[in-house]
Structure 1
Amino acid sequence: MVATILRDPDAAKKLFEAILDSPNGKRSLSRLARTCRAMSEPALDVLWRELDSIVPILGLFPNAVLKKAKRPGMGFARIPEESDWDLVVKYSERIRRIAYDELANNVAASVFPILDDHRPTLYILPQLQEIIWRAESPAGLDRCSMFLTPHLRSIQLEVGANFKQAQMTAFLADMSSRSLLTFFSFNSPTSLPEAFTELLIRQEALEKVILVAPGALSAGVGRWASNLPNLKSLQLDLTGRSSIAVEGFFDDIHPRSGCSTPSSISTDSGIFSGEELDFSELRKSALRVTEDRLPSRTSFSQLKRLQLTGEAGNIAVFLRHLPSPLVQLDLVIEDPPDNADWQDLSVLVSEEFSESLQALRISATGASRFADLVRTTSRAEPVSRRLSLEGFTDLPRLTRLEVDLPESVIFLPSDLEAIALSCPRLEILKLCPLARFSHNSMGPRLTLDHLAVLTKRCKHLHTVGAVFNAGEGSREIMASQAYSSCSLVRLHVGHSWISDPLQVSIFLSHVAPRLENLKSFQEKNRPGFNEANAKSWQTVSDILPHLQQLRYRERTFAKVAEVTYPKTVDVGIDATPVLVNRGVTAAGPRMCSQEIQCTPALVSRSVDAVKRSISISVDATPPTVEMAVEAKPVMVSTEIDATISFESKEIDATPSPESRENRIMSSQILQQLYLIPSILGFVSFLYKYLITYPLTISSRVGLQLMARPTTRFPFNTKPTGFSLDRAANRSTASSDTSDITMETINVCH
C-alpha cells in the first residue's frame, strides 16, 4: 500500500497533509520522514512548507555559530561563513509560507542584519509565496524587506500604532515594486497612507483584498478596488462608521442622479445654527426607502466573496450599492443587532443574492465576544436573546448557513421552518452550537421534532450543529418514512438538554439512520458543563450504532417481503398497417430574371506633383588680406678707446754703499719681479685665445643665424657670407655688428 501511495505524488501529499493536521502532526510527520528515503523527500516538503516562525531556519546553522543551540532565536555567536549556509540553502527551497510576530520576542533583533548582510544568495527563501508579518515598530516592519521575492503572491500585514505615514509609504512602495500579489491584507489602527491607491496601482492581479484600517472606506479606495479586474474576495471593516461614510465608498464608482440623497440631508435646523438636531434615524429610514442604486456595470465584475464587519444597518447600506452576484457572504455584526436593521438586512440578502448566494456566515465582532468572555469569567449567567431567521425567504442555491453569536442564541421552530422552505439545497446548518443555557432559564426552544422538519425538506443536509431540548419524538414523525434522511451523517448537539437517552436514540435512528458522528461537550472545565446531560449523550452515542444496525436489517427484510410477481394477461393486438396513397405535385419552380445595372461612376482627377526647387549659390571664398612686415634688425656700432696711457718718471736708483746688502737683496727680488710680466703675458695669451675668441665667434654666429630668417633678399641674389678673418672683422665692424673686436683692446705684454 505504501508503494502505491508513493507512486502518486498527489495521493502522498494528501496523506502527509492529513497527518500534519492531526494532533502532534508535526512530530509524527518528522518521524515518518526519518523512516525511509522514499518517504523522506515528500514528507519534508509538507513539513517545511509552512513555518510559524523563522526559528526553525536559524536552527539549521551549526551549533558553533549560535549562542545557544537549543534556543536559536537568541542570535549568533559569530558571523556565519559560507559553509555554514549549506543546510539553510538546502531547506529554504521547500518553504512556501513564513510568519513573524514581533510581540512574541522569540528572535533577537541582531539576527536580521546578519542574515541580510551575509546571505550567500540573493534571496534567503527563493520559493516563498506567502508572508504573515506582525510588526509593532518601523524596525520590525523593515525586517520584512529581505523576504520579498518575485515569487511572492500573498502578504498579510498587521502593524501597530507607532508608524508614520512616510515609513508606511516607503515600505508599500518597495513591496509593490518587487512583487506581484494575488492576496493583500492590511490591518492597522492608524489610517491608510494618502497615496495608498497610487502605491498599489501596479497590483492588477489581486484576487483577495482585506483592509481593516481608517480610511479604507474612502472614495479613492472604492474606485481602486472596483477597477481590479481579478478581485474575487473583499473584506472591509465598517465598525464605528456612519451610513453616509459607508455610502461614500461608492461615490466615484457610479454617477449621482442629481436627486436629493440621504447624504444631502442637513443637520442644521435652519432656525438656530447653534442648535443641531440628530438626523441619524431619519437617514437610516431614508436609506431604507430610497433605492437610488446606479452601479457601474464594470465595477466589482468578478467579486464573489465578501466579508463585512460592523453594525447591521451599515452592512445593509453597503450591500444595497453592490452590483456583484455574491457566492459567499460573511457578516461579522455587533451582537445583539438592532431588530429593525437585522430584518432589513435579512430581507435584502434574500432579494439581492437569491440566485447566486451559496454560503452565509454570521458571527460576532471581537468586542461582543470580549463582553461575553467577561461575563463567563465573573460567573454571571449568559444573556440569551432571539435572532429571527424568518426574514430569509428565498435562497434556493444556499448550501451553507452558519450563525455563531454569543448572545443571540434563541431560535424558534418558525426559524427552522423558514430555513427549510427557503433553502431546499442546504447541506450544512450551524445555529450557535456553542450556546449554553442555565437551569433557571427556559432552556433551548428547539426539539428533535423540529430537526425532522429539516430532514424532510432538505434532502442534501449532511451536517447540523445546534442546541436542542431532546425528548421523545412525536408518533407522526416516527410513523412516516418521509422524515428519514439518508444524507445526515454529522450532528453536533453541544450543551443540549436530554431527558431519556433511549427514546432519543430510537428517534435519531429513525430520523438519521446513517448518522456517523454524534458530538457533544464532555469537558468538565468548559463553562456551562452539565454532567447529567453529558452522560446521557454519551449513552446515546453508545446505543445509536446498534439501533441503526437493527433498523437496517428491518428495512432489508421489508424490501424482500414487498417483492411480488405481476399479474399476466393475454391481449391480442391487430397490427395490420393502414396504407394510404398520396401524390405530391412537384411542379418546376418559377424562374424570374432580373437585371441590375451597377455601373460605377468614375471621376478622373489629376494632381500636379511637380516638386518646386530653388537654386541658391553661396560665395564661400574666404577673404584674404596680404600684409608685409619689415623685420630688419636695428644695428648699433659702438667704439671704445681702450689705449693705455703711459707716464714717464725718472728715478735715481744709485744705491748707497751702506745699503749694499740691501741692493743685493733688492736685485734678487727684482730678478724675480722681472719674471712677473712674462707670467702675465702668458696668462693673457691663454685668456685671449682659449676663452675670449671662442666666445666672440659663437656670439657672432648666433646673431647671424637669428637675423637670417627675417632678412629679405631680392630674387637672383644671395646673402653675403660671413668671414671670420680678422681683416674682414676690421672692415665690417663699424657697419655689420656692434661687437667690439679684440684688436681694439690693447693688452700689455
Structure 2
Amino acid sequence: MASATSAALDRDVLLHVIDFFDKPGNLRILATCARVCKAWCEPASRCLWRYLPSLHPLWYLLSNRNYAENPRMAAFWEFVDTDDFVKDVIQRHPDQWAHFLEVASFVCGADFASVSTELNLIRTVVKYNEGVTFLPSLHTLFWRHSVPDDTTCLLLCSPSLRSLHVGISRIRLTTTAIGALSNRITQFSPSLEPILSGLPAAAPNLERLTVSDHAVQNTVTFAPHIESLGSLHELVLRTRSFALSPALMRGILEHIPQLAALTTHIADFAEPGSQAVAPALRRLDLLESRSPDLVNFLESGFLRAPVLVSLRIRSTDDEYHAASAQVIPALAQASFAPRLHLLDLSISGDELVSRSPEQNPTFGRLVAPLRTMRELLGVKIALGLHVVSIDDSDLRALAQAWPCVQELELGWLPLGPRAAPPLVALRHFAALCPDLRSLTLTRMMLSRMEGSGVEEKKEKEKAHPLTWLNVKSFTGDDDPEAIARFLDNLFPNLELADPEPVKDPAPNNNIINFQHESSRITVEQRIRRLREARR
C-alpha cells in the first residue's frame, strides 16, 4: 500500500515538473524529458504532441524518418504510393504503426493546409485504422480548405472535437487560349457545403465553428447545415459572402437556442420582418456592414437578446450614406442597450465628411445618445467618417456618463485645429471614473499646467488605479517637468517603460507617445524621481 501511495505521489510530482515546462519555446526540453526513461516518456510526449502546427511530424514518425521543418512535404511523399506504404508499415513494422497511433492520440490541436498528397495520406491512414480517425483526442482543428468538393476534414473529426476553424482559399487556374498573347487567370473558391453537410454527424459535440478568408459561398445552402449543429455555442463567419439576412439569422438563432456568441456580417435588412429571439446570446459582433442595414437591425427591434452584454459594430459604406449618422442613436434605443457592459463601435467610409472648423460636429454631440448606457465597463469608439471638434467639455461629459468604465478608448480623425483636447482634461477621468484602468485617446494639446484644478493628493487618499495611458499624438509645447507632476499626481499607478534602453522598443511600453521620443523619456524620468522622493 505504501509503495502504491509513493508511486502516485511520484507521478504527481512528475506531472507537475512536466507541466512547468509545457510552455511555448520549450519543445527541446520536453523532447529531452521524453527520452529520460519510460516513466517520463508518456507524460512528456503528451505535452510535446499536444499541439501541431502541421501534421508533418506525424508523417515522419509513421515513416520512421527524422522530422525536418519544411513548408512542403519532402519529395519522398510526392512519389510514394500511400496505400502500399501504409500497408507495408502495418505488415512489416506493427510496433511502428502502434507507436504512431499512440502518439497521434496525444494530439489535441492541429493546423492543416489541404494538399492533395497529404489528403491521400490521411484517407489511407483512416482506411487502415478501421475507418475511424487517428486523432481521437483532437479538440481544436484549423483546416485550410482549397480542394473542391473535398471532405477529408470530416475524417479527422470525432465526438472530442470542440472547435473547428475552416479557412477557405481561392484557387488560381491559369489557362492559355489558342492564339492568345497572354494567359488567363481564373479564381474560384471551393465549396464548403460538402464539409458542412457532414459536420453534424462527424462532430456532434462541436461548440465553436469559424469560417474565414476570401470565400465566395452560397449562404442559403450552407445555413441549414449550421442549424443542425445542436451543440454550437459560438459561430464566427468572417467573410462578406456569408452575410446573414434576417431570415437566415432568425433560423440559426431558432435552431441553436444555446448560441452564446455570434460574429457575422449582415445584409438585406430593409424589411427585417418578425423578431429573432436569442435567449443565450451574450456576445454579438457585427462585422463590416452597410449603415442602412445596421440602422434597420437596431431600430426595428429585430433581435431580442435578454442576456446580451457585449456588442461590437463595424459600420462602413462605399459611398457616404445619411444612415451613418443614425447608427449611434439607433444603438442607444435598442432594447438590449441599457444592459451592455462592453461596446466596441467603429463608423467609417470611403468618403470623408469635412466642413469648416466652426461647423464640424463635436465628438461629444455625436456620441451623446450613448451616455444613457450607464452600465458600460469597456468602451471603444472610433469615428473615422467625420472631422470632429473635441475639447475639455466633451471628455468631462463622457466621464460623467460612464462612471463604472474600466477600459476606455476614444478615436477620431486628428485633423483640424480643434481636434486636440487639453491634457488637463484627464482630470475628469481621475475624478469621475474611479475604476478606470486603461485609457487611450487619439490626440491631446500640451497646454500650461497652471490652474489645472488638480490638488495634491493627501497621503491616505486612495490612489487612482489607472495603469495604462496611451495618447497617440500630442500638439503644443512640451514642459516635461509640469507634465510629469501632473500625470504622477493624477495617476500614481501608471506603468512606465523599462528604464534600460531597448534596441527595438515595443510601442506598448510607452505610457504616452510624444512627437519627440526624448520628451517621453524625460517625462518618465521625472516621474521616477518624484516616486523615489516619496519613498
Q: 1:234 aligns with which of 253, 262, 265?
A: 262
8 Å CA contact 1:138, 1:167 repeated in 2: yes
Give yes or no for the alignment of 1:52 onto 2:53: yes
8 Å CA contact 1:506, 1:544 repeated in 2: yes
8 Å CA contact 2:147, 2:190 repeated in 1: no
Structure 1: how far apart are the matches of 2:203 and 2:103? 22
Tell me which amino acid in the other structure corresponds to 1:346. I
Structure 1: how far apart are the matches of 2:527 and 2:40? 40
8 Å CA contact 2:157, 2:202 repeated in 1: yes
2:484 partner SS: helix
Q: Over residues 239-264 of structure 1, what are the superposed CA-to-partner deviations in whole Å (9 max), with x where a residue is unaligned?
A: xx4xxx2155x43xx3xxxxxxxxxx
Structure 2: how far apart are the matches of 1:458 and 1:531? 25
Describe the shift of the 1:417–1:90 C-alpha distance in structure 2 as closer, same or farther (beyond 3 A).
farther
Q: Over residues 99-155 of structure 1, what are the superposed CA-to-partner deviations in whole Å (9 max), with x where a residue is unaligned?
A: 2345xxxxx52122123213553212111122222323316x433232122211222
8 Å CA contact 1:449, 1:474 repeated in 2: no
Structure 1: how far apart are the matches of 2:136 and 2:436? 45
Structure 2: how far apart are the matches of 1:88 and 1:112? 18
The 5 Å alignment of 1:121-136 reads 121=129, 122-136=132-146
Give yes or no for the alignment of 1:115 onto 2:122: yes
Describe the shift of the 1:189–1:338 C-alpha distance in structure 2 as closer, same or farther (beyond 3 A).
same
Larger radius of gyration: 1
Please, what TM-score do these two structures have when normalized by structure 2? 0.72
8 Å CA contact 2:123, 2:155 repeated in 1: yes
1:461 counterpart residue number: 436
The 5 Å alignment of 1:558-597 reads none
Describe the shift of the 1:525–1:225 C-alpha distance in structure 2 as closer, same or farther (beyond 3 A).
closer
Report the CA distance between 1:464 and its aligned residue: 1.2
Tell me which amino acid in the other structure corresponds to 2:269. V
2:454 partner SS: helix
Q: 1:185 aligns with which of 210, 225, 239?
A: 210
Q: 2:233 aligns with which of 181, 185, 207?
A: 207
Structure 2: how far apart are the matches of 1:492 and 1:522? 21
Tell me which amino acid in the other structure corresponds to 1:317. N
Report the CA distance between 1:232 and its aligned residue: 1.1
8 Å CA contact 1:389, 1:418 repeated in 2: no
Give yes or no for the alignment of 1:348 onto 2:376: no
Report the CA distance between 1:76 and its aligned residue: 3.6
Structure 2: how far apart are the matches of 1:195 and 1:227? 16
Q: Over residues 452-472 of structure 1, what are the superposed CA-to-partner deviations in whole Å (9 max), with x where a residue is unaligned?
A: 211211111011122333444
Q: Over residues 304-326 of structure 1, what are the superposed CA-to-partner deviations in whole Å (9 max), with x where a residue is unaligned?
A: 11111213332121123211132
2:420 counterpart residue number: 445
2:316 counterpart residue number: 334
Q: Identity of aligned pairs, percent?
A: 19
2:453 counterpart residue number: 477
Give yes or no for the alignment of 1:543 onto 2:522: no
Report the CA distance between 1:338 and its aligned residue: 6.0
8 Å CA contact 1:135, 1:160 repeated in 2: yes
1:418 counterpart residue number: 397
Tell me which amino acid in the other structure corresponds to 2:451. R
1:609 counterpart residue number: none
Report the CA distance between 1:444 and its aligned residue: 5.1
Tell me which amino acid in the other structure corresponds to 1:514. N
Tell me which amino acid in the other structure corresponds to 2:56. V
Q: Over residues 204-261 of structure 1, what are the superposed CA-to-partner deviations in whole Å (9 max), with x where a residue is unaligned?
A: 22111233435631524522323422011112213xx4xxx2155x43xx3xxxxxxx
Structure 2: how far apart are the matches of 1:506 and 1:59? 62
Structure 1: how far apart are the matches of 2:319 and 2:486? 36
8 Å CA contact 1:197, 1:220 repeated in 2: yes
The 5 Å alignment of 1:395-414 reads 395-404=373-382, 412-413=390-391, 414=393
Describe the shift of the 1:408–1:11 C-alpha distance in structure 2 as closer, same or farther (beyond 3 A).
farther
Tell me which amino acid in the other structure corresponds to 2:231. A
Structure 1: how far apart are the matches of 2:446 and 2:47? 44
Structure 2: how far apart are the matches of 1:506 and 1:445? 21
Report the CA distance between 1:351 and its aligned residue: 3.5
Task: Return 227-236 or 185-194, whichever deviates more.
Answer: 185-194
Report the CA distance between 1:517 and its aligned residue: 4.0
8 Å CA contact 1:514, 1:548 repeated in 2: no
Describe the shift of the 1:191–1:111 C-alpha distance in structure 2 as closer, same or farther (beyond 3 A).
closer
Structure 1: how far apart are the matches of 2:503 and 2:472? 9
1:401 partner SS: strand
Structure 2: how far apart are the matches of 1:336 and 1:546? 52
2:481 partner SS: helix
Describe the shift of the 1:167–1:311 C-alpha distance in structure 2 as closer, same or farther (beyond 3 A).
closer
Describe the shift of the 1:401–1:215 C-alpha distance in structure 2 as closer, same or farther (beyond 3 A).
closer
Structure 1, gaps ≥5 residues long:
21-25, 103-107, 255-294, 373-383, 554-749
Describe the shift of the 1:344–1:547 C-alpha distance in structure 2 as closer, same or farther (beyond 3 A).
same
Structure 1: how far apart are the matches of 2:144 and 2:264? 19
Q: Over residues 406-448 of structure 1, what are the superposed CA-to-partner deviations in whole Å (9 max), with x where a residue is unaligned?
A: 666866234422321221110011224xx8958xx64851332
Give yes or no for the alignment of 1:360 onto 2:384: no
8 Å CA contact 1:65, 1:76 repeated in 2: no
8 Å CA contact 2:191, 2:217 repeated in 1: no
1:138 partner SS: coil
Structure 2: how far apart are the matches of 1:86 and 1:424? 62
Give yes or no for the alignment of 1:222 onto 2:250: yes
8 Å CA contact 1:465, 1:493 repeated in 2: yes
Structure 2: how far apart are the matches of 1:90 and 1:524? 44
1:510 counterpart residue number: 489
Structure 2, gaps ≥5 residues long:
1-8, 172-186, 353-359
1:170 partner SS: helix
Give yes or no for the alignment of 1:493 onto 2:471: yes
Q: Which one scores higher on RCO, CA 8 angstroms, separation ≥ 6? A: 2
Please, what TM-score do these two structures have when normalized by structure 1? 0.53
Describe the shift of the 1:396–1:195 C-alpha distance in structure 2 as closer, same or farther (beyond 3 A).
same
1:170 counterpart residue number: 194
Structure 1: how far apart are the matches of 2:44 and 2:382? 36
Give yes or no for the alignment of 1:27 onto 2:5: no
2:357 counterpart residue number: none
Structure 1: how far apart are the matches of 2:32 and 2:388? 52
2:314 partner SS: strand
Report the CA distance between 1:511 and its aligned residue: 0.4
2:5 counterpart residue number: none
Structure 2: how far apart are the matches of 1:203 and 1:89? 29
8 Å CA contact 1:505, 1:540 repeated in 2: yes
Structure 2: how far apart are the matches of 1:96 and 1:409? 49
1:393 partner SS: helix
2:356 counterpart residue number: none
RMSD across aligned C-alpha pairs, in angstroms? 4.4
Structure 1: how far apart are the matches of 2:229 and 2:401? 40
What is the count of residue pairs matched by the alignment? 464
Describe the shift of the 1:490–1:165 C-alpha distance in structure 2 as closer, same or farther (beyond 3 A).
closer
Tell me which amino acid in the other structure corresponds to 2:521. Q
Structure 2: how far apart are the matches of 1:136 and 1:391? 46
Q: Over residues 136-186 of structure 1, what are the superposed CA-to-partner deviations in whole Å (9 max), with x where a residue is unaligned?
A: 3316x4332321222112222233567999964333222222112222233
8 Å CA contact 1:129, 1:154 repeated in 2: yes
2:283 counterpart residue number: 305
8 Å CA contact 2:154, 2:202 repeated in 1: no
The 5 Å alignment of 1:552-701 reads 553=535
